[in-house]
Structure 1
Amino acid sequence: MLFAIISTDKPNHLQTRMDNRPEHLAYLNSLGDRLKFAGPFLGGDEKPVGTLAVVEAETLDAAKTIAADDPYAVAGLFEQVEIRRWNWTVKNPDAA
């Protein structure tokens, strides 16, 4: 099952994001094929203000664990995290 992890940064926490970025990227890469894609949301000033990651997990609880183990989450970057079941129907390379 696919899950969208939609995270919103706390205001004025860009430095927290930048300080933890190397660990965050290493964590995402460690997920291997479970990570389908990921990237930051950008604010009006073109600076990151949140994250979208789509992951494959057996259950919602497993997706919650993936989200909670993200170094950004551990560092307290996020004001809000929403995890929703997602169906990739358009341009899904696995469905070709």
Structure 2
Amino acid sequence: MFAVHCLDYADALPRRLANYDAHKAHLAQGQVKTVISGPLVAGDGETMIGSLFVFSAEKIEDVRAFNAADPFNAANVWQSVSINPFLMRVDNRS
């Protein structure tokens, strides 16, 4: 698995909202499996400032390519993207 942490440009919110449906469609296409995902929010609990994903994939290159093809990248939503291998030790979702 891989954790992907993305932080938005300060002025990205309008671009994020305009590309949200395309972003969701990209995640649903399944080149890599999305385990969990959602927006990172500011201290007010509402203002979106980034994204967090956990993907299941064979290789980090697959995750990099999938992330690079995300419409949020084309729209310059994310200022920084960090992709790291992730070892899930605890899963309390069930």
Query: Is 2:15 aligned against 1:6?
Result: no
- Partner of 2:81 in structure 1? 81
Aligned residues: 93
CA deviation digits over 1:5-60, x for unaligned, max 9?
A: 11000002100000000000111112277110100000123211000011112111
Q: Which runs of 5+ in 1 are unaligned?
A: none
Counterpart CA distance in 1 for 2:58 and 2:27 is 17
TM-score for the superposition, normalised by structure 1: 0.88
Runs of 4 or more above 2 Å deviation = none
Moved more, 37-46 or 14-23: 37-46
Alpha-carbon spacing, 1:82–1:33, altered in 2? closer, same or farther (3 Å):
closer
What aligned pairs does 1:13-52 form with structure 2 within 5 A after superposition?
13-31=12-30, 34-45=33-44, 46-52=46-52
How far the C-alpha of 1:75 sits from its partner, in A, is 1.1
CA contact (8 A) 2:2 2:84 kept: yes
Q: Which amino acid aligns with 2:16?
A: R
Q: Matched residues, percent identical?
A: 29
TM-score for the superposition, normalised by structure 2: 0.89
Alpha-carbon spacing, 1:15–1:33, altered in 2? closer, same or farther (3 Å):
same
More helix by share: 1
CA contact (8 A) 2:32 2:66 kept: no
Q: Which runs of 5+ in 2 are unaligned?
A: none
Structure 2 residue matching 1:31: 3-state secondary structure? coil
